[in-house]
Amino acid sequence: MARKVVNRKELRAQADAAEARAKTTKKAAKDKPTKEKKEKAAKEPKKPAAKKASRKKVAKEVRMKAYWGVFNPSMKRLVLFEYADKKAADKKAADLTASSRSQHFVQLVKEAITE
């Protein structure tokens, strides 16, 4: 069974023509307000102006400090080292891995500074 070939150019021309007709009818409707619209606008009381929203407090920026944490496979932090002591953290992770069957690893941890 053969299908009918669709002419895309004709379809596009029809769509453009319909769009142009819709635009002209919308403009004509906007330009000439009907009596019903005028009466409706006159009957409806104006709404009071909405209150301005009060300013919300700006969130205080929290200062963070970086540490190296040694974790077990279940993501439980075992030991926390200062950022400058990465070698010590790596050594601790290697010692824990050697002493047990599971892999321990080092990961960066950021915690908020409390003053």
pLDDT one-digit tens code per residue, 32-44: 666 666 666 666 6
**H-state helical runs in 3-66:** 8-31, 35-43
Q: What is the pLDDT of residue 49?
A: 78
CA 18 to chain centre: 38
Q: 27 or 25: which carries more pLDDT confidence?
A: 25
Dump pLDDT digits (tens) for 46-100.
Answer: 777 788 888 888 888 889 999 999 999 999 999 999 999 999 999 999 999 999 8
